[in-house]
Amino acid sequence: MTDQSATQTPDFALPFLLHGGLLRGRLARTCATSDAILERHKYPAAISRLVAEAAALASVLANALKFNGVFTLQAQGSGPVRQLVADVTSDGQVRACATFDETADGLDDPGTAEEASVQKLLGTGHLAFTVDQGNAPERYQGLVELTGRTLSECLHAYFRQSEQLETAIKVASEAPCPNHNGWRAAALMIQRMPVDGGKILSLSKDDADEAWRTAVILLGSLTTAELLDPGLEAGTVLHRLFHDEDLSVSPPRPLVFGCRCSRQRVEETLATFSPSSLGEMQLDDGSVSVQCQFCSTEYIFSASDIEVLSQGTTSP
């Protein structure tokens, strides 16, 4: 287990406004969360970086929405990484995982991890966003092709094409090194909010346009070190960037690694399979082993458990 106490501070998403709400932003730090996710998998370096950044981006996006349920960011492609998933619950539990070709070359090379693009890792495919509110009759879903070099560029394309909402995002991740234990990841997003009834608060259109351009330039000046440094408080980061932009910061919202898997859920899933399908899953001793793709927890069902499931009833 990685020693988090000396190197990591609690993770959070920090909401903020600029110019009285003309611009809205979120800063999400998912350092301890990303490390907790990745230490359960031991992915190659390039995959770890992709998963860490997906978790940070999902966290910043989820905290820009009002919902009661689960926000999911999911990419599917033709490259070595077949599927990438990160989800965030409305109470701040984050998890993420990837399915990939373990025989692909160079995935564990540090240089590959630094330079690997979305096209190299995921190939052609799409990026989807889903908000599942449980019993709600409809689920919100957005979809965009994997057209950018990075996940954040793909997100820019989505907001530009689908939401018609000007958005700027910066994401960063850093592998364990002699200076710190564990993975670190963070993302900062700003958005220009839609005009309400033709009025842009107290600013003229020209001033509002200039305010947006300035904020984007300032975001671009943010360094990876500043975004990830646990010794640099998030409020300080925002103040350094936006102190002249009528900055207003709201209380942080906690983020933490959390998986929703359970033996009962796995059992309910197994109960949907036919007896013949369950038989194909059984090991030599008649048991069935199921491993959660998010947290790597292994659930073992004995031969007698499988017999009960085959009869169409779940065990107590």
**CB distance 36 to 51 below 8 Å:** no
Q: Residue 87 pairs with which residues in a beta bridge? A: 72, 95
What is the dotted CATH code of the domain comprising 263-312? 3.90.1280.10
Closest CA to 46 of 74, 80, 87: 80
Q: State residue 8's pLDDT score.
A: 45
Structure tokens at 160: 């530009």
CATH 3.55.30.10, domain 12-257, yes or no = yes
Q: Which residues contact 162 (CB under 8 A, 6 or more apart)?
A: 142, 143, 144
pLDDT score at 247: 97
pTM: 0.89
Burial 160-197 (b: 16+ CB within 10 A, else e): eeeeeebbbbbbbbbbbeeebbbbbbbbbbbbbeeeee
For residue 106, what pLDDT is reported?
Answer: 73
Of these ranges, 44-58, 121-135, 163-177, the one predicted with the greatest mean pLDDT is 44-58
Percentage of the chain beyond pLDDT 70 is 89
86, pLDDT greater than 50: yes
Q: Find the range with the poorest average confidence among 210-214, 250-254, 305-309.
A: 305-309
Residues in contact with 197: Cβ distance below 8 Å, sequence separation at least 6, in sequence order:
none
Tell me the average pLDDT across 184-196: 90
Per-residue pLDDT, averaged over 173-186, amounts to 81
Please report which confidence band the pLDDT of residue 176 belongs to, taking 50, 70 and 90 as the band edges: confident
Mean pLDDT on 126-146: 84
**Model confidence band, residue 32 (pLDDT cutoffs 50, 70, 90):** very high
Going from N- to C-terminal start, the domains of the chain cover 12-257, 263-312
